[in-house]
Amino acid sequence: MKIGFIGLGIMGKPMSKNLIKAGYELIVYDKNEAAVDELKQCGAQAALSSAEAAKDVEVVITMLPNSPHVRAAVLGEDGVLDGAKEGTVLIDMSSIDPTESRKIGAEIAKKGLEMLDAPVSGGEPKAIDGTISVMVGGKKEIFDKYYDIMKSMAGSVVYVGGLGAGNVTKLANQIIVASNIAALGEALTLAKKSEVDPKLVFEAIRGGLAGSTVMEAKAPMMLERNFQPGFRINLHIKDLNNALNAGHNVSSPLPITALVMEMMQALKADGYELEDHLSLVKYYEKIANTCVGESEE
């Protein structure tokens, strides 16, 4: 099967490579010529536009930063809609506002195209080894037909409902992750200010109800002062902004999300937007005048 793939960034590039490894024929497009050249070396064909990437393929996959980028790539000049034939399926694997997913889906449906919204979770390492989690919205029969394509890039592919449900699920994921990291930073700061070793606090509570995947991944990095990005603050700001917009659209208040968003905005103002989202601990360290990861005297 021939697939068009648009967006060869941190996630899209390894995901597209996994499709090639799985035996799919790819035609790829990105404004980053170096990324396109790298995929050409792996056997992909290069397109000069989104429209060209969507021409004569059964499926088009988009993996782009946010809603405006997806809208431009699909509905804009030389976009997917200009090149795709009737019956083409768009699988948008970007993390965007679910309201936009539904609007884009409605527009392409007018020309006989189908759409799945299929955002992913797991970050670059899991994109590289093909173990990302994919949460998918759209028609169930379309999901079933193209499940194998998505599974070739992922460890888990789960159907969650109609179009837009995938991005609602991803936003729920991002709310929970951000809130967990913030709570972890707050708790370890309390320990430090109380002259209790944060590392020992982590060891004591990790096996109880407070234990979580987030804690296991982020607490050691906080204690080691390792802020190398697995998922950057500025990207999480984007996701929480989409969550707040989605909540407002359906009158679902998100007070915790709003609070964590403002904490991240403060970190951005301090110049930490390109660091890992575990840098939320720095918000607490600043207002408490301490450092969670300092060595005990």
165-174 residue pLDDT tens: 999 999 999 9
Q: How confident is the model at residue 229 (pLDDT cuts 50, 70, 90)?
A: confident
What CATH number has the domain bearing residue 37?
A: 3.40.50.720
pLDDT in tens, 58-101: 999 999 999 999 999 999 999 999 999 999 999 999 999 999 99
The torsion angles phi and psi of 244, rounded to 5 degrees, stand at: -65, -40
**pLDDT above 50: residue 295:** no
pLDDT of residue 125: 85
* pLDDT surpasses 90 at 122: no
Find the mean pLDDT for residues 102-122. 96
Q: Mean per-residue pLDDT for 280-295?
A: 91
Main-chain phi, psi angles of 83, to 5 degrees: -110, -20
- Domain contains 297: no
Binning pLDDT at 50, 70 and 90, where does residue 230 land?
A: confident
Taking all residues of the chain, what is their mean pLDDT, rounded to a whole number? 95
Identify whether 256 is part of a domain. Answer: yes
Q: Do residue 98 and residue 48 come from a single domain? A: yes
Q: Percentage of residues in the chain with pLDDT exceeding 70?
A: 99
The verdict on residue 83 lying in a domain is yes
Is 14 part of a structural domain of the chain?
Answer: yes
Residues 238 and 210 in one domain: yes
State whether 134 and 9 are in the same domain: yes
Among 128, 162, 196, give the residue marking a domain's end.
162
Same domain flag for 152 and 180: no
Note whether 153 and 103 are same-domain residues.
yes
Among 162, 177, 208, give the residue marking a domain's end.
162
Whether residues 34 and 153 share a domain: the answer is yes
Q: Are residues 220 and 148 in the same domain?
A: no
Domain count, the chain: 2
Task: In whole angstroms, give the CA distance from residue 54 to residue 111.
Answer: 14
Domain that holds residue 34: 2-162
Q: Does residue 69 lie within any of the structural domains?
A: yes
pLDDT of residue 294: 64
Could you tell me what percent of the chain has a pLDDT over 90? 95
**Residue 213 shares a structural domain with residue 152:** no
Q: Which amino acids are annotated catalytic?
A: 170
- Residue 296 falls inside a structural domain: no
Whether residues 139 and 190 fall in one domain:
no
The candidate with the shortest Cα–Cα distance to 138, out of 122, 156, 157, 114, is 114
Give the C-alpha separation, 142 to 162, whole Å.
Answer: 11
User: Quick check: helix, strand or coil at residue 232?
Assistant: strand
Which CATH number do you get for residue 284?
Answer: 1.10.1040.10
Look up residue 51 and give its amino acid: A
In a domain, 295, yes or no: no
Give the tens place of pLDDT for each residue, 186-214.
999 999 999 999 999 999 999 999 999 99
pLDDT at 297 over 60: no
Same structural domain, 14 and 134: yes
Same-domain check for residues 124 and 248: no
Both 182 and 94 in a single domain? no
Average pLDDT, integer, range 124-141: 95
Residue 102 lies in a domain: yes
Single out the residue in 147, 162, 177 at which a domain terminates. 162
d(CA 55, CA 60): 9
Whether the Cβ atoms of residue 12 and residue 60 lie closer than 8 Å to each other: no
